[in-house]
């Protein structure tokens, strides 16, 4: 099927590495960056991911590629292995020199309705920030703001002009609201994703991803991951709305 356009905006111009205060991660791309994000998410949840779980989240049938990524990240000094921790033995190394932050970076726009030509312009870059402590919503290094444009999430209490506070993470649970990119175009929707992986490490076929609107006037998007690149940018953790005085 053709890539869905309703409710999509271009988030391809967002440099995910530039949002991370750890200098070494600026050289990371693709799956290597995602492995680091998965490990950081597991650390925040006090449940480090296993190699098998990382492979499943990346859609890889073999753990060999994951081991290569882990060794590279270890050499960069970004993660370390605890030989006493069993299968959950990889942990990110905290950067003690990370500066404290008292604001949330506004890094672009996200569609909730008609397509947006450009998801990152001069008025909504990472140099613009919201003067709110990011720890209100989670880790300071993983929370960003996106300006909502459109009304497809109206019944979830999300309106055009709101600021969506998104915690960057590579996966979300079914039923959670997420910022998702489809072939580089971004949208804010309810995630109904496929479940990959089977018993004893045997992979199962990955089904279609469904992205639901919270407005009866918008159709559900159904995307085949085999035909289109579908990635979770992050999970919605808050909304900021400014009321205009009349």
pLDDT at 190: 96
More confident residue, 59 or 12: 59
Q: Are 149 and 116 in contact (CB under 8 A)?
A: yes
Was domain 22-92 assigned CATH 2.40.50.140? Answer: no
Q: Where along the chain do the CATH 1.10.10.10 domains lie?
A: 22-92
pLDDT beyond 70 at 95: no
More confident residue, 112 or 217: 217
- The Cα–Cα gap between 111 and 100 comes to 30
Query: Topology of 9-15+98-240 in CATH?
Result: Umud Fragment, subunit A (2.10.109)
Q: How confident is the model at residue 161 (pLDDT cuts 50, 70, 90)?
A: very high
Catalytic-residue membership of 152: yes
Q: Where along the chain do the CATH 2.10.109.10 domains lie?
A: 9-15+98-240
Q: Are 165 and 127 in contact (CB under 8 A)?
A: no
pLDDT beyond 50 at 238: yes
pLDDT at 42: 80
Query: Which residue is catalytic, options 124, 142, 189, 235?
Result: 189
Query: Which residue is catalytic, options 9, 124, 142, 152?
Result: 152
Could you write out the three-class secondary structure of 151-203?
A: CCCHHHCCCCCCEEEEEECCCCCCCCEEEEEECCEEEEEEEECCCCCCHHHCC
Catalytic-residue membership of 189: yes
At 117, give phi and psi (nearest 5°): -65, -40
Sign of the dihedral through C-alpha 30, 33, 36, 42: negative
What pLDDT digit, counting tens, does each position of 99-125 carry? 456 788 888 889 986 434 334 333 333
């Amino acid at each position: 099927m053709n890539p869905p356009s309703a409710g999509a905006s271009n988030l391809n111009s967002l440099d995910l590495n530039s949002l991370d205060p750890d200098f070494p991660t600026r050289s990371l791309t693709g799956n290597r960056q995602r492995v680091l994000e998965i490990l950081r998410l597991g650390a925040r949840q006090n449940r480090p991911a296993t190699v098998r779980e990382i492979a499943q989240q990346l859609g890889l049938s073999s753990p060999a590629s994951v081991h290569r990524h882990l060794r590279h990240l270890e050499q960069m000094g970004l993660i370390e292995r605890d030989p006493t921790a069993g299968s959950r033995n990889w942990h990110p190394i905290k950067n003690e020199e990370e500066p404290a932050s008292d604001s949330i970076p506004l890094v672009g726009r996200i569609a909730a309705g008609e397509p947006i030509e450009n998801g990152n312009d001069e008025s909504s870059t990472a140099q613009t920030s919201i003067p709110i402590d990011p720890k209100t919503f989670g880790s300071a290094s993983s929370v960003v703001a996106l300006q909502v444009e459109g009304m497809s999430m109206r019944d979830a209490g999300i309106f055009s002009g709101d600021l969506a506070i998104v915690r960057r993470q590579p996966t979300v649970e079914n039923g959670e609201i997420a910022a998702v990119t489809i072939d580089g175009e971004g949208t804010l929707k309810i995630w109904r994703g496929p479940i990959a992986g089977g018993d004893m490490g045997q992979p199962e076929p990955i089904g279609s991803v469904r992205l639901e609107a919270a407005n009866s006037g918008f159709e559900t998007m159904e995307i085949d991951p085999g035909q289109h690149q579908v990635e979770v940018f992050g999970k919605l953790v808050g909304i900021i709305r400014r009321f205009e005085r009349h």
